[in-house]
Structure 1
Amino acid sequence: MATIYEVSKLAGVSLATVSRVMNNNANVSDATRKKVTSAMTELGYRPNSIAQSLASNCSNSVGLLVSELSGPFYGPMMGGIEDAFRNQGKHVIIAAGHSDKEREEQAIEFLISRNCDGLILHVEAVSDEYLINLSKSETPFVLLNRFIAELADRCIVLDNVRGGYLATKHVLEQGHKHIAYISGPLWKKDAQDRLLGHKKALQEYDMAFDETLLYEGDFMEGSGTQGYIDLHNSAHHFSALVCANDEMATGAMASAREFGIALPEQLSIMGFDNVLFTRHTYPPLSTIDYPINNMGRMAASWILSEVYRKQTPQLQTIFEPELVIRQSIFNKR
C-alpha cells in the first residue's frame, strides 16, 4: 500500500504540501495540486481519513440529529443539508433522537465521539439547560426548529404562531363558524405555537375557542384518523377541521370518507407543512408551507461559516410560513 511519503517523492513536493492538498487547503497552486493528485492516482494512494483528522484537527464531517428518519417531513430537510455540505466536500453523519430525552442525549454524545466538526440539532426533548451547557463545549452546533433566548444567534426557526394563524384565518374567511382542531402533542413547542395561532385567528373573528372541538394528536397519520373519529362521535357540529400537520390531515380525510362525508362540501380540511403528497390528495390539501429544505440549508450555511470559515449568505434565523390554497376548503359564503 502506497504511503504519503511515496506520494510526496513522486510529485516532487514536501509532505506538508501533500497534506495541504488532501485537506483542500486553498494555499496550494493549481499546478501543484494537479501534480499531487496525479501522483496519488498513479500510486493508488487512498488517504486515511482518521489520520487526516488527527493531523488537521478537522474531520470534514458534520453531525445531524433529527427526531425521525421516516416520514415526508424530514427527508427534504436532510436532503437540503446533505446537498449543501456535499457541494463543499463535507460529509454528514445522521442520528435520530425519536423525541426522547435520553436518546437525544445519547445521539449527541455519539456524534461528538465521531469527531464531528459541528452539529445540526433538531431536538425536542432535551432541556434548554442541557443545550446551554453544551454550547460551552468545544463542538459548535446550530439548532433547527428550536428557539432558546440565550442561544438566539444559533437558532433557525419557523414562526409557528403565524402559521397557525394563517391556517385558521383562511378557513374563517371562507365562512366557517364551527371549526375543530387536531393538534400535535402539546408538550412540544411547535404544537403549542400552532394552536396559539389558531386561537388568535378565532379571537380576531370574535369567536370563542371550543375545547370540545380539540383533539390532541401526535403528528402521525394514525392520530388524524382517530382524532376525526372522536370528534365525529362527540356529536359536536363542525364544518371545518384544521390539523397541525399534513400527516394528521390525510388521516382525518381518510377517516371522514369512512363515515361517508363528502370532502370538501360537508367537511373542509386544512393541513400544515406542505409536504409533497398534499398536492396529490383528493381533494388537493390546502396547507401552510414550511420551508424546511431552505431552513436546513441555512443551518448548513451556519456550520460552513462558523466552523469552516466559508463565505455564505447572511444568516436568516426566522422563516415565515405561507398559505397554500388548494381545493380542500369549501367556500360557505
Structure 2
Amino acid sequence: MSTIYEVAKLAGCAVSTVSRVLNHHPNVSAKTKAKVQTAMDKLQYRPNTVAKSLASQRTHCVGIMVNELASSFFGTLTGAIESTMRAHNKHTIVTAGHSDAATEKKGIEFLIDRKCDAIVVHAEAVSDAYLIELIERGVAMLVMNREIKGYESYCISLNNELGGFLATQAVIAHGHNDIAYISGPMKKHDAHQRWEGHRRALEHANIDYNPLNFIEAEFTKSGGEAAFYRLLKRKAVFSAIVCGNDEIACGVMTAARQHGLALPSELSIVGFDNSPITLCTYPTLTSIDYPIAQMGQYAANHILQTVYGEHIDCDSGQFKPQLVERASLIKRVAMK
C-alpha cells in the first residue's frame, strides 16, 4: 500500500502540500492539485481516513436521525441533506427513532459515538430537556420540526399552526361550514399545532367547533380510511374533510369512494405536506406545502457554514407553509 510520502515524492512536492490537497485547502493552485491527483492515481493511493480524522478532529461525517426510514417525507429530508453534503465531500449516517424515547436516545447516542461532526435530529418522543443537555454538552446539533424556547438558533421548524389555519381557511372560503378534521396522533407536536390552526380558522369565521367532526388517527393511509368510517358511524355531517397529512387524505379518498361518494362533487378533501402523492391521486389533492427539501438543504448549509467554515449564506431556519390548491377542493355541494 502506497503512502503519502510516496505521493509527495512522485508529485515533486512536500508532504504538507499533499495534506492540503487531501483536506481541500483553498490555498493550493490548480496545477499543484492536478500533479498530486495524478500521483495518487498512479500509486492507487487511498488516504487513511482514521488518521486524517485524528489529525483534523473531523470525521467529515454528519449524522441524521429521523422517525422512520420507509417514508417519502423523511426520504426527501435525508436526500436533501445527503446530496448537499456529498457536494462538499462530506458523508452521512442515517438512523431511525420510531417515535420512541428510548430508541431515539439510542439513535442519537449512536451518532455521537460515531464521532459525527454534527447531527440533524427529527425527534418526537425525547424531551426538550434531553436535547438541551446535549446542546450544553457541546454536541453540534440541529433539531427539525421543533421549537425549543431559548434555543431557537438550534431549531429548524415549520409554522404548523399556520398550516392548519390555511387549510381550513381555504375550505371555508369555498363555502364549506360543515367541516370534519382528521388529525395525526395528538401527542405529536406538529399534529397538535395543525389542529390548533384548524380551531383558529373556525373561530375566525365564527363557525362553532363540533367535537363529533374531530377524529384522531395515525399518520397513515389506513388511519385515514378507519377515521372516515368512524365519522360515518357517528353520523357526523360534513361536506369537506381537512386531514393532518397527505397519507390520511389518501385513505379518506379510498374510503369515501368505497362508500359511494363522488369526489370532489360530494366531498372536498385537503391534505398536509404537499408530498409527491398529491399529483397521483384522483382528483389531485389540495395540500399545505411542507418545504422539507428546502429545510433539509438549509440544515446541511448551516452545518457547512458553522461546523466546517464554508462560506454559505443561510437565511432563517423558520419556514412558512403555503396552500397548494388542486382539484380535490371545490365550492360546497351538499353531501347526500
Please name the residue that 1:308 is paired with. 308
Q: Whole-Å Cα distance in 2 between the matches of residues 51 and 137 of structure 1?
A: 25
Q: 1:172-225: CA deviations, max 9, x gaps?
A: 111111111110111111111100000001001111111111111121111101
Q: 3-state SS of the aligned residue for 1:150?
A: coil
Q: In 2, are the aligned partners of 1:273 and 1:290 still within 8 Å (CA)?
A: yes
Q: Whole-Å Cα distance in 2 between the matches of residues 313 and 221 of structure 1?
A: 39
Please name the residue that 1:169 is paired with. 169
Q: Whole-Å Cα distance in 2 between the matches of residues 96 and 43 of structure 1?
A: 40
**How many equivalent pairs are there?**
333
Q: Whole-Å Cα distance in 1 between the matches of residues 7 and 138 of structure 2?
A: 34
Deviation of the 1:6 alpha carbon: 1.3
Q: Whole-Å Cα distance in 1 between the matches of residues 7 and 139 of structure 2?
A: 33
Deviation of the 1:50 alpha carbon: 1.6
Q: Whole-Å Cα distance in 2 between the matches of residues 116 and 108 of structure 1?
A: 10
Q: 3-state SS of the aligned residue for 1:272?
A: strand
Q: Whole-Å Cα distance in 1 between the matches of residues 72 and 263 of structure 2?
A: 23
One-letter code aligned to 2:233: N
Please name the residue that 1:220 is paired with. 220
Q: Whole-Å Cα distance in 2 between the matches of residues 123 and 48 of structure 1?
A: 34
Q: In 2, are the aligned partners of 1:60 and 1:90 still within 8 Å (CA)?
A: yes
Q: In 1, are the aligned partners of 2:182 and 2:216 still within 8 Å (CA)?
A: yes
Please name the residue that 2:244 is paired with. 244
Deviation of the 1:130 alpha carbon: 0.4
Q: 1:145-179: CA deviations, max 9, x gaps?
A: 11101210121111111100000011111111111
Please name the residue that 1:197 is paired with. 197
Q: 3-state SS of the aligned residue for 1:7?
A: helix
- 5+ residue gaps, structure 2: none
Question: Moved runs in structure 1, 4+ residues, more than 6 A?
Answer: none
Q: 3-state SS of the aligned residue for 1:262?
A: coil
Between 16-25 and 303-312, the greater mean CA deviation after superposition: 16-25
Q: Whole-Å Cα distance in 2 between the matches of residues 111 and 16 of structure 1?
A: 31
Q: 3-state SS of the aligned residue for 1:99?
A: coil
Q: Whole-Å Cα distance in 2 between the matches of residues 176 and 315 of structure 1?
A: 37
Q: Whole-Å Cα distance in 2 between the matches of residues 293 and 115 of structure 1?
A: 25
Deviation of the 1:304 alpha carbon: 0.6
Q: In 2, are the aligned partners of 1:184 and 1:218 still within 8 Å (CA)?
A: yes
Q: In 1, are the aligned partners of 2:62 and 2:91 still within 8 Å (CA)?
A: yes
Matched, 1:130 2:130: yes
Please name the residue that 2:31 is paired with. 31
Q: 3-state SS of the aligned residue for 2:72?
A: coil
Q: Whole-Å Cα distance in 1 between the matches of residues 20 and 113 of structure 2?
A: 25
Q: In 1, are the aligned partners of 2:105 and 2:126 still within 8 Å (CA)?
A: yes
One-letter code aligned to 1:290: Y
Q: 3-state SS of the aligned residue for 2:272?
A: coil
One-letter code aligned to 2:176: H
Task: Give 1:1-333 correspondences, 5 Å limit.
Answer: 1-332=1-332
Q: Whole-Å Cα distance in 1 between the matches of residues 205 and 329 of structure 2?
A: 18
Deviation of the 1:251 alpha carbon: 0.6
Q: In 2, are the aligned partners of 1:269 and 1:328 still within 8 Å (CA)?
A: yes
Q: In 2, are the aligned partners of 1:132 and 1:150 still within 8 Å (CA)?
A: no
Deviation of the 1:123 alpha carbon: 1.1
When normalised by structure 2's length, the TM-score is: 0.96
Q: 3-state SS of the aligned residue for 2:265?
A: coil
Q: 1:9-42: CA deviations, max 9, x gaps?
A: 2222222222221111223222222222111111
Q: Whole-Å Cα distance in 2 between the matches of residues 141 and 77 of structure 1?
A: 16
When normalised by structure 1's length, the TM-score is: 0.97
Between 298-307 and 29-38, the greater mean CA deviation after superposition: 29-38
Q: 3-state SS of the aligned residue for 2:315?
A: coil
Q: In 2, are the aligned partners of 1:100 and 1:125 still within 8 Å (CA)?
A: yes
Q: 1:214-249: CA deviations, max 9, x gaps?
A: 111121111101000111111121111110100000
Q: Whole-Å Cα distance in 1 between the matches of residues 60 and 332 of structure 2?
A: 56
Q: Whole-Å Cα distance in 2 between the matches of residues 111 and 125 of structure 1?
A: 17
Between 200-209 and 313-322, the greater mean CA deviation after superposition: 313-322
Could you tell me the percent identity over the aligned residues? 46
